[in-house]
Amino acid sequence: MATNQSGAGPAPERATITMDAELVVQLVGALEKIGTAFTIDELNDARTLSLVDRLAGRGNGGPAAGIPDPVRARAALDYAEIRGLLGRADAATPLRMRRTRTGDVEFVDPVPVSAAVVAVESPGDAASGPITEHFDKIKGLSKPTLDLSFITAQMPIARVEAFAEDGTLVAFGPSFPPVH
């Protein structure tokens, strides 16, 4: 009885993964930002404050207090979101949310218990420019509704993010179009 020892025959099939082209562009752009953001720069390290401190208006008391580097902070948050979308266990959690007819944001999924602050960002409109609203009274609420004051129903929402007390991104939500 003859056996085929040469390994000839059909090669095992490789799994093919297809990704949306827009997602690939966003991932590559975010990874490029991360590479720039984590370059060692002592001046930026000294100026960077935790997000929660900035939201609460508390500085670190140093000479550069209140002058964070927004590019480094934004890139770090984008990186945390990518890790969450890729399913990393220690990463921020993507949450389902919805926008009400009045323009407010309702959480569909429960907020992680470690969340202390939620930030809602909008590019605004021609008259207002970019707007960020902060909500620090969410501790202990499972599925809060964020009653937006400055972001109107006619403005899109770019991002919704929940942070722990130490400024770590723990959850994020989708962007929303304007409510018509």
In this structure, are residues 52 and 165 in contact, taking their beta carbons and an 8 Å threshold? yes
The closest of 114, 153, 112, 158 to 132, measured between CA atoms, is 158
pLDDT of residue 21: 73
Summarize the chain as % helix, strand, coil (round to 5): 25, 20, 55
Integer Cα distance of 29 and 34 in angstroms: 9
What mean pLDDT value characterizes the chain? 74
pLDDT for residue 62? 43
User: What band does 102 get if pLDDT is binned at 50, 70 and 90?
Assistant: very high
pTM exceeds 0.85: no
The pair phi, psi for residue 70, each rounded to 5°, is -65, -30
Domains plus CATH for the chain?
19-91 (no CATH), 92-180 (2.60.40.10)
Residue 180, pLDDT above cutoff 70: yes
User: Would you give the DSSP letter of residue 157?
Assistant: B
pLDDT bracket for residue 23 (50, 70, 90): confident
Q: Give the closest residue to 119 by CA, choosing from 171, 73, 81, 67.
A: 171
Among the residue ranges 60-64, 84-88, 166-170, the one predicted with the least confidence is 60-64
Strand partners, 173: 160
Closest CA to 106 of 141, 130, 78, 158: 141
